[in-house]
Structure 1
């Protein structure tokens, strides 16, 4: 055999062998029902371990391309061409080769376990169903006639909703804007995706917090961006770190979550906010401000957002109703310069022809009513209760085995544990015990951290979940 695997290629050797045999089958080099070389012989010819050949043949078998029978060797399948003699697509290969990367396997595992088993969920970043304004929504639906046109709406989103958002951000965030500077999105996730895909290009350098929710997102890698980390301390990121990164890498955009940050719960200090805005002006670096949690401040005091202090249109502001009203409503928004909003709206229209009319109508009715203020007061009190429950439970059941920063708002608790503990081992043991959380390595570069999210659970379940975690930790130590 003249072909040899390329040992300088980053792709595993067994994967290279799989692709070579696939190509050989397609070209007729290995006809249907032909016998492939034995594991030992092919290993000798390619100068690889026999286990590598076994792995390659097993993958080919899983794809339905070859058949393996003990004592009979490995044969090219006779069924790959189908009844009509057309080649069956190798869907496994297509799934692997797509340019949009999948979530991390561990993220997929946690989601699957939470959905398929009755675990105490301290992993999902959402509110408990009991904290969502279901009764208020029912009142709106029963008392307000829906008379909107169910055709395609404005590319930027329903105009009435955008006007309501304009009033909302002025009242609660002191942000001055207009409806023409707002794009309605399917939550903050779509907003981030549109910004990355439309305003940046492969090879661009962006700065994200470490740890942060952005750290877990594959959209940056899918877009070919280079991500650089800004360490987060008790007062948020240090602006001097941004200066250093920009000197080395020419940062094109900064992504920040200043208030009750996910996952640390920290608040970016006012002096640092001002300095970051100054640097944005000096260096010409746009800032993406992701603000899902500022209204959850337990004492009711809302910090000045970067956008409220932005007089030069350097900040793209993202917020949503997902973390403060209902995650399934899928209503978020971007506020920015009109030319940027129009560009993003054009891209969104290409993807989904604009946002669904009905949830926009419901969101507009709720956001513009007295229900909203009452609801925010309720979730502030309830989230503070849950925060107290989880912190007191950690102190009771784990003592000095866990350190944490106590947040003044939001739904996350960032906990430091012994860095020598294998976080995957403790996660698996915990899920066996009936509790799920997020290991720190998904969200940041430092070892020895985990994130508990307390917005999703009821107080009794939170206390029970921490007890189960303590038991799991004891089982592996």
Structure 2
């Protein structure tokens, strides 16, 4: 009796057909380079629609088992067989169909450049140059470790001494009240964003982010199937009224903001707009994720209140790290939020990596408690201002009226717009690399 798909089976018909054809190929009934029956012929034999057979062929093509030859038909792909017997996975297809979306090709290219042996001047990645790291301080702290410390699994939520040190740090430096139990240690701020999206949002949820935003965060939002809406950043930050407009149309679940010394524009959300953002999100029940790695880098300017310091309702999840003020390689970040949220995100993190590594946490805890930490921060602001002034002087000398930028009063970012329409930004990028410098382009 001829085989036919079972329409009462819960498995879709096209998958039943794909499995049937795969078994015949593996059994040698359709050897490498042999042609399968046509879609029309199979549809007639199996008493199904031609579209069902087409879907079955697509299933087999996605695994690399067969290939389509225009004008000839669908044939068994001999490239998936090893020595005529064992089948080799189609890794190209795996790569294309992975759950997480790849970074933009330009960002991939930038990372290849800065990861090479070429000594490029690096304006593309927001990290401190080596001369600004507190190397001697970290060395002195490292020399004291291992006397009574055990390199076993750490608390998944993070080392208690580090969480206590962060809690003690947040009050004088950022005017934020906290407790160690309300803090989760993460592998930098990037992992914190990952955890929040994975642990608190569902595919199809609407979120709003700034435009432009940190380029390496964008694939996270897209991979998780979120409806992402953009709010333009102006010289005083975003326009809070746009939050209302987006929410009424799309029902926002979360607002992701980098309101202080914004990456990449360098601007800060002014105090009146901060108050308005808090008021709007409180009225509409919109959660705020405040990404705040730069707030201590104020060039002697008065500190701007964080959104979290203004939060009386438990509205804000506060994300920060030591990457921009100490060293990116420590990979120490944190999330501060309501206890039930921290519990949930800790559980998600446990599934990912079983907790952060011990050594960086020990160093970070001692660093934050060091009597020399404030001295490092004050020196860092002075040196960053010098580097900003030198960069601006060079831009004005070399590009003059061809670009426009606002001089940042704080932080580490300088955002330029090309004024001369004859300048192709991509050609400029390639020429810069050839001359030993790499920078980041806005990605649309």
- Give the TM-score taking structure 1 as reference length: 0.77
**Cα distance change on mapping 1:417 and 1:90 into 2, 3 Å:** same
Q: Which stretch shifts more, 160-169 or 146-155?
A: 146-155
Q: CA deviation at 1:364?
A: 0.3
Alignment partner, residue 380 of structure 1: 381
Q: CA deviation at 1:291?
A: 0.3
Alignment partner, residue 95 of structure 1: 95
Alignment partner, residue 137 of structure 1: 138
Q: Is the 8 A contact 2:65 2:76 kept in 1?
A: no
Q: CA deviation at 1:357?
A: 1.3
Q: CA deviation at 1:250?
A: 0.8
Superposed, which structure 2 residues align to 1:339-418 within 5 Å?
Answer: 339-418=340-419
Matched, 1:235 2:236: yes
Superposed, which structure 2 residues align to 1:284-303 within 5 Å?
Answer: 284-303=285-304
**Cα distance change on mapping 1:402 and 1:24 into 2, 3 Å:** farther
Provide the C-alpha distance between the structure 2 equivalents of 1:96 and 1:25, rounded to a whole number of angstroms. Answer: 22
Provide the C-alpha distance between the structure 2 equivalents of 1:249 and 1:316, rounded to a whole number of angstroms. Answer: 21
RMSD: 2.8
Provide the C-alpha distance between the structure 1 equivalents of 2:401 and 2:23, rounded to a whole number of angstroms. Answer: 62
Matched, 1:428 2:426: no
Provide the C-alpha distance between the structure 1 equivalents of 2:345 and 2:370, rounded to a whole number of angstroms. Answer: 29
Matched, 1:82 2:82: yes
Superposed, which structure 2 residues align to 1:12-23 within 5 Å?
Answer: none
Provide the C-alpha distance between the structure 2 equivalents of 1:371 and 1:433, rounded to a whole number of angstroms. Answer: 39
Provide the C-alpha distance between the structure 2 equivalents of 1:185 and 1:196, rounded to a whole number of angstroms. Answer: 14
Provide the C-alpha distance between the structure 1 equivalents of 2:246 and 2:113, rounded to a whole number of angstroms. Answer: 38
Classify the secondary structure of the residue corresponding to 1:361. helix
Alignment partner, residue 284 of structure 2: 283
**Cα distance change on mapping 1:387 and 1:201 into 2, 3 Å:** same
Q: Which stretch shifts more, 121-130 or 214-223?
A: 214-223
Alignment partner, residue 453 of structure 1: none
Superposed, which structure 2 residues align to 1:251-330 within 5 Å?
Answer: 251-330=252-331
Q: How many residue pairs were aligned?
A: 395
Provide the C-alpha distance between the structure 1 equivalents of 2:382 and 2:21, rounded to a whole number of angstroms. Answer: 65
Q: Larger Rg: 1 or 2?
A: 2
Q: Is the 8 A contact 1:208 1:215 kept in 2?
A: no
Provide the C-alpha distance between the structure 2 equivalents of 1:193 and 1:214, rounded to a whole number of angstroms. Answer: 14
Superposed, which structure 2 residues align to 1:51-200 within 5 Å?
Answer: 78=78, 80-83=80-83, 85-116=85-116, 117-200=118-201
Classify the secondary structure of the residue corresponding to 1:408. coil
**Cα distance change on mapping 1:26 and 1:394 into 2, 3 Å:** farther
Q: CA deviation at 1:358?
A: 1.4
Structure 2 residue ranges without an equivalent (≥5): 1-17, 37-60
Q: Is the 8 A contact 1:290 1:318 kept in 2?
A: yes
Q: Is the 8 A contact 2:298 2:409 kept in 1?
A: yes
Q: Deviations over 1:373-411 (max 9, x none)?
A: 111111101110010011111111111111101111111
Q: Is the 8 A contact 1:209 1:231 kept in 2?
A: yes
Provide the C-alpha distance between the structure 1 equivalents of 2:77 and 2:222, rounded to a whole number of angstroms. Answer: 36
Q: Which stretch shifts more, 162-171 or 76-85?
A: 76-85
Q: CA deviation at 1:148?
A: 2.2
- Give the TM-score taking structure 2 as reference length: 0.83
Classify the secondary structure of the residue corresponding to 2:184. strand
Q: CA deviation at 1:79?
A: 5.8
Classify the secondary structure of the residue corresponding to 1:99. coil
Alignment partner, residue 42 of structure 1: none
Which residue of the other structure, out of 425, 436, 439, is the alignment partner of 1:437? Answer: 439
Q: Is the 8 A contact 2:274 2:307 kept in 1?
A: yes
Q: Is the 8 A contact 1:25 1:32 kept in 2?
A: no
